[in-house]
Structure 1
Amino acid sequence: MSLESAEAEGTTPARSSSGVGYLWYQLRRSPLTMVGLGIIVVVLFIMVAAPWIAPYNPDKLDLLHRLAAPSLAHFFGTDEVGRDIFSRVLWGARTSVTVGLAIVAISMGFGTVIGAFSGLVGGRVDTLIMRFMDVVLSFPSFVMAMALAAALGPNLINAMLAIAVVRIPFYVRLARGQALSLRSKPYVKAAMSFGAPRVQIMRRHIMPNAMAPIIVQATLDIGLAILTASALSFIGLGAQQPTAEWGAMVATGRDYLLDQWWYPTFPGLAILITAVGFNLLGDGLRDMFDPRMRGR
């Protein structure tokens, strides 16, 4: 049965839930998820193609055309030193989205391993790890990220590391919950009874079967990571001039908001649209992987 005939008859094609075809079918059933996927595809294309599609060098100064309004020559206008804002927004996608992806990759990687180990081992080790994570979670996330970024020094790499450290406990708790559920499964008990090393059990049995909710959470977190990194840049703890980064551009442009509205507006819209895209895709993936949401 084809996907088209299945949709016409209101039935689901007989495919494995792990197949690419089934995944694509589920994505197509949600218009908002497709919108989010479309936004992400466009953003990723801009990241790759920025050197070729940007009409100007993002760092080129042109004092004769400083703070020029949007026009055919400069689609988004120019900034206080004549740099083309459209070009800087395109190049800023490389910086902002890469930082968001790196934050999620670091926090998900460390958090998943620690949480899976904690849930599998149990006992005092599990208690010690989780109490430490509770301490970290007791602080407001953004305040702690600001403190870490300020302690490490105001630059984009340190801001990225600070946000990643703050996000690790969320993945630890999620991975631990999955590990606690999976370690009671017969195949895990069989591996433990045969004396399989815990590292091997984690690698072969726990982590592969726990990744679905973790991937969903990671997709949702990318938008949050971009927003948080932009916020740190906005207050001067992230990207520094002349780096083309959306949060830093909004921070500089706020001084010109009343008279040159385009300066902070277009980088701010780029942050908003990208975050919405990842959130829409994350919501769609959550609905697909959570059986409780499928009937809605």
Structure 2
Amino acid sequence: MVALEPTAKHRRGGVDARRIWYRLRRSRLTLVGLTISLIVLLMIVAAPLIAPYQPDKIALSSRLAPPSLQHFFGTDEVGRDLLSRVIFGSRASCGTAFAIVILSTLLGSIIGCLSGIIGGLVDTAIMRVMDVFLALPALVLAMALAAALGPSLFNAMLAIAIVRIPTYVRLSRSQTLALRHRTYVKASRSFGASPLYLLRWHILPNALSPIIVQATLDLGGTVLTAAALSFIGLGAQPPTSEWGAMVSSGRNYFLDQWWYATFPGVAILVTAMGFNLLGDGLRDMLDPRLGGR
């Protein structure tokens, strides 16, 4: 009977995949978000296979050509195919967003959970530092950090990740404070379990649902922030294919060559919308207060 108890508990607290799929099929907007997200993932993985041209191939004879059967999205000021650059740009824009969210989620969740478990002066010191970061506008702080580190895609990614960490620290800490008074956590403490043991086996597994939802919702905003830093010259540098940098270059030609800035801008809009729709759907399915279970 004792051996079967963790399995039964896991079934009660685990995620029912069939129920999630059933609710997913009932939500058209969530399906739209999932479809957009899968298309973006396909572009990232299979960019060399689906792009009609090399993204950096220059053809001055075709510079600023309008959309046509040869170039579906037109070309830029040096004749590079915009469709190919948008497809390869998903790697820089969305790949960076995934890396930022993964890094900030891992670091923020671990710091927040340990802060909630340890408590005392350590918890107070960590939360006061997080309050300082949260008191400043996220975009302004990201711009300042990126400018201090130097203009590059990696430095922009690092700056945005640092700005995103406090959100996950507070979220995971709040979950930890709610979980540390549970009977099984107190029992582990009484047997001398270390904070890392509690974090690995009791806190993180039971706090994953809201963290996953927050990470999914953050993907859209992270894509926009990364594009904004590239737009002002603090992110990806030429000739890297990146949506924000492409919009920045295309704004100089917008009145006569509208396609240059429009298609990368639409890619940013649709991708951010898709991630947000998917995140909203996951929140509805995983949050019991919203009828997700």
TM-score between both structures, scaled by the size of structure 1: 0.93
1:29 aligns with 2:47: no
**Aligned partners of 2:133, 2:14: CA distance in 1, in Å?**
37
Q: Which residue of 1 aligns with 2:216?
A: 219
Q: Deviations over 1:118-172 (max 9, x none)?
A: 1111111111100110011111100000000000000000000000000000000
Unmatched runs of 5 consecutive residues or more in structure 2: 1-11
Task: Give, in whole Å, the separation in 2 of the partners of 1:138 and 1:228.
Answer: 18
Aligned counterparts of 2:212 and 2:188: Cα–Cα separation in 1: 25
Correspondent of 2:88 among 91, 99, 113: 91
In structure 2, distance between residues paired with 1:56 and 1:108: 36
1:16 CA drift (Å) = 8.4
Give the ranges of 4+ consecutive aligned residues of structure 1 lying more than 6 Å apart after TM superposition. none
- Aligned length in residues: 282
Percent identical: 65
Distance apart, 1:29 and its partner CA: 1.6
Matching residue of 1:229: 226
- Alpha-carbon distance in structure 2 between the residues aligned to 1:130 and 1:227: 27
The residue that corresponds to 2:145 in the other structure is 148
Amino acid at match of 2:101: V
| Rounded Cα–Cα distance in structure 2 between residues aligned with 1:20 and 1:287 | 14
**Counterpart in 1 of 2:176?**
179
* 1:199-234 C-alpha deviation (Å, 9 max, x unpaired): 101110001110100000000001111110000000
CA–CA distance in structure 1, aligned partners of residues 92 and 202 of structure 2: 36
2:43 maps to a residue whose letter is: I
Letter aligned with residue 238 of structure 2: Q
2:126 is the alignment partner of 1:129: yes
Distance 2:221 2:94 in 1: 11
Name 2:100's counterpart in structure 1.
103
Aligned to 1:10: none
Please give the alpha-carbon distance, in whole angstroms, between the structure 2 residues aligned to 1:127 and 1:70.
Answer: 57
Name the SS for the 1:75 alignment partner: coil
Q: In the alignment, what sits opposite 1:82?
A: 79
Equivalent in the alignment of 1:12 = none
Which residue number corresponds to residue 276 of structure 1? 273
Structure 2 residue 36 is the aligned partner of structure 1 residue 39: yes
Partners of 2:165 and 2:225 in 1: CA distance: 15
Counterpart amino acid of 1:179? T
Q: How does 1:186-197 map to 2 (within 5 A)?
A: 186-197=183-194
Which residue of 46, 50, 63 maps to 2:47? Answer: 50
What's the RMSD between the two structures over aligned residues? 1.4
2:206 and 2:13 map into 1 onto residues whose CA distance is 16
Q: TM-score, normalised by structure 2?
A: 0.94
The answer to whether structure 1 residue 199 and structure 2 residue 196 are counterparts is yes
Aligned to 2:264: 267
- Structure 1 residue 19 displacement after superposition: 2.6
**Partner Cα separation in structure 2 for residue 135 and residue 30 of structure 1:** 39
For 1:97-117, what per-residue CA distance to the aligned partner results, in whole angstroms no more than 9, with x for missing partners? 100000001100100000000
The answer as to whether partners of 1:133 and 1:169 remain within 8 angstroms in 2 is: yes
- What one-letter code is carried by the residue in structure 2 that aligns with 1:195? G
Matched AA of 1:187: Y
